[in-house]
Structures are given as C-alpha cells and as structure tokens.
Structure 1
Amino acid sequence: MKTLIWQGILYQSLEYFHLQPDDEGYTVESKILGYHEGKIYAVNYRICTDKDWIVQDFLVESEVNRVVKTFAGKRSGNQWEINNTVHPEFNNFKFIDISLTPFTNTLPINNLKLSENSSQKIDVIYIDVLNQHVRPVQQQYTRTASHKYLYENIENDFKAEISVDEMGLVTSYPELFEKIAEL
C-alpha cells in the first residue's frame, strides 16, 4: 500500500493518490484538484490492473468549469469498451494515459521491465481530461538509468526524462509533476 501527493507544476494541481495491491493486481484511487489555462477542474479516477500492470478497467470522473464528464473503460479480451461502446481503434492496447497525472507512466514502466539503454514503443488510450476526449496515441519509453526513463510522445515530439522510485512511481517529471509527500 502506498499513499502520496503529487504537485502539478504546469497544471497547478494537487493529487492525493492511493495504490493498493491485492491478489489479482493493483487498484489505484486518486483525486486531483487544479487550475490551468482558465479551467478549474476536479478529477477522481480509479484504475484496476493485473499483476503485470496491464489495465483491466478504469473510471475517470471529471468536472471542468462545472462541465461533468465520465470515461468508464473495461477490457474484454483484447477489446476495449468505453462508455458502453466497443472501440476497435484501441484493440490490443494495454495502457491508458490520463493527462493530469504522472501515475499512468508507472503502468508501462513496470510492465515493460526495460533494461538500461533499451526502449520500446507502445500504444495507449489517451484521456485528455481538460478537453474531455479520448484518443489513441503512440509513446516510447527508454530506460536511461536504474530509476530514470526518457518518455517520448511520438506524435508531437514531446520528451521528458522522468525519475521514479523503487515501485516505478514518478518522483520527478521536470516542469510537470513533483512528488511532495508520501506515507
């Protein structure tokens, strides 16, 4: 079990995060409050993974400037059903990426188990909370040191070297997120 707080630097946010392992995998529950580019937002999310950190289901409930939106996803074999609709564009996707949290970087970091100086491209379900939509994106992770990874968003050339702890949870994501407290 782990509880921590991340500060969103760019997104002017605080995230209260809780990770609970169980016999089947991991359950994450988190709350985020923040303000970015004229948008006041609150987000509650829950993610359930198997032991290999592959997402099995998720629930993202957000309110952005009083507009409420929910994204509920469930894996069925290699298909994804999101908000009661099957989305073939996400077939075989193992991970999600929620725009306002560094946690979703932990999913591929822990699943891929990269050796130093190796990298891998992955497809993810990207949940853009502030713009309230979901789409497929391609990302690449390169392990640069024992607790450091180069994250790359393939479509827009965004890159960042993130630091993680022994559990693969982000401790520093330059200019975006910093861990500020932990139990």
Structure 2
Amino acid sequence: MSLDRTIRWRALDPEGLEHCRIISSARDTRIRSTVITPDYGLFYRLKLEPSGEIRHARLERTDGALLELFSDGAGHWSDDRAEPLPDLAGCIDIDISASPLTNSLPLWRCDWVIDQPQRFTMAWINVDTMSVRRHEQIYTRLDDRHFRYQAADGSFERVIKVDDDGLGLDYPGLFTRVG
C-alpha cells in the first residue's frame, strides 16, 4: 500500500473532530492524528509493518494520561516498560474508541470476498479510561464501498462506507468524513 493523505472526521456522539495524517511506503505506514472531544484532546501515533500489522501505538491525552503499546506483529504485546500483556495475545490490530481510522486496519490487511465475514481479535483502546482489552469483531465486505462491522457478542452493528483507500466516509451515528 502506498498512501499519503490527510483526512478529517467529525464525531457525532459525542461531538468532536479528528485530523489524521497517513504516510505509507514500502518500508512502513505511519499515522499521526489529533482527536478533540468535549472532555479532552488526544494525540496518537501508530506504526505499521508494510503488510499492515501494528508494531507501535502511542496515545496521549491533554491531561497527561499516556498509553504506549508495542507488538511483534504476530499477536504478542508489551507495554512501555516492556512488560508482556498476555490478555492481548493473538490481537493483530488495534481499535481506538475515539477514531474511525482504526477500522481501516483490518480492511487494509486482508483479502476480501463479498458477503464472507472475517473475524478479528482486536486490542480495543478505551480513550476515556486509557485502558486496553481484547475485543472480538467481525467485518463483512458487502460491496466495493461498504463493510458491515459487528461486535462478536452482538452488542453493536453498523455498515461503514469507505473510499477507494479503505478509509471511512460514513460510520452511521458515530463519525462522518469532513475533509
């Protein structure tokens, strides 16, 4: 994947804004983003392997709360003190609660067949608490522009509209692209 883009999303509930820069090359993909919500600002950086596996995530809120995670790309995680995080074993992707960008990570990494669901074990980051936990998710490609996202426990479902680069255009009730 070769990508050099700046994107903005408007959060709908709660209201907010994300300004994101993605630079991808044959060497790696680097993502830098700022999220502004009514309660805090968040800056995050992600580094991905050329094949799409996350290697490093650093999130910092304006109140000083910090979360930094490292992955070997094969589902083994550690924190900023190099302490293993066994609860995240097998997670390849992350999902940041305040950002639609991270929904693109499994879309970029996988081959897709229409109407064939794929299950992912995500390292889900709650930015309100700056905590991370394992979360099972299912994505199904519906056509060239639409993916169904489902929490594996059935608690949440949306159809996400994406652009040609697999970046969200509309995430009903949560986010919409504004630039």
Q: Same fold (TM over 0.5)?
A: yes
CA shift, 1:62, in A, is: 1.5
Which residue does 1:94 correspond to in 2?
A: 92
CA shift, 1:156, in A, is: 5.1
State the alpha-carbon separation in 2 of the partners of residues 19 and 177 from structure 1. 18
TM-score (norm 2): 0.92
Which residue does 1:22 correspond to in 2?
A: 25
State the alpha-carbon separation in 2 of the partners of residues 22 and 170 from structure 1. 20
State the alpha-carbon separation in 1 of the partners of residues 57 and 18 from structure 2. 17
Which residue does 2:61 correspond to in 1?
A: 62
The yes-or-no answer on 1:81 pairing with 2:78 is yes
Higher relative contact order (CA 8 A, sep 6+): 1
The yes-or-no answer on 1:13 pairing with 2:16 is yes
State the alpha-carbon separation in 2 of the partners of residues 62 and 154 from structure 1. 29
Provide structure 1 residue ranges, at least 5 long, that are not aligned to the other structure: none
State the alpha-carbon separation in 1 of the partners of residues 108 and 165 from structure 2. 8
Q: How does 1:15-164 map to 2 (within 5 A)?
A: 15-35=18-38, 40-63=39-62, 66=63, 68-76=64-72, 78-84=75-81, 85-155=83-153, 157-164=155-162
Question: What one-letter code is carried by the residue in structure 2 that aligns with 1:108?
Answer: P
State the alpha-carbon separation in 2 of the partners of residues 147 and 50 from structure 1. 25
State the alpha-carbon separation in 2 of the partners of residues 176 and 78 from structure 1. 28
CA shift, 1:52, in A, is: 2.1
TM-score (norm 1): 0.90
State the alpha-carbon separation in 2 of the partners of residues 138 and 28 from structure 1. 23
Question: What one-letter code is carried by the residue in structure 1 that aligns with 2:145?
Answer: H
Question: What one-letter code is carried by the residue in structure 1 that aligns with 2:35?
Answer: I
Q: SS of 1:89's equivalent?
A: helix
State the alpha-carbon separation in 1 of the partners of residues 120 and 9 from structure 2. 25
State the alpha-carbon separation in 2 of the partners of residues 135 and 83 from structure 1. 16
* Contact residue 11 and residue 100 of structure 1 kept, 8 A: no
Q: Which has the larger displacement, 40-49 or 80-89?
A: 80-89
Q: SS of 2:178's equivalent?
A: strand
State the alpha-carbon separation in 1 of the partners of residues 25 and 45 from structure 2. 15
Q: Would you say how many aligned residue pairs link Structure 1 and Structure 2? A: 174
Provide structure 2 residue ranges, at least 5 long, that are not aligned to the other structure: none
* Contact residue 137 and residue 155 of structure 1 kept, 8 A: no
Q: Which runs of 4+ in 1 moved over 3 A?
A: none
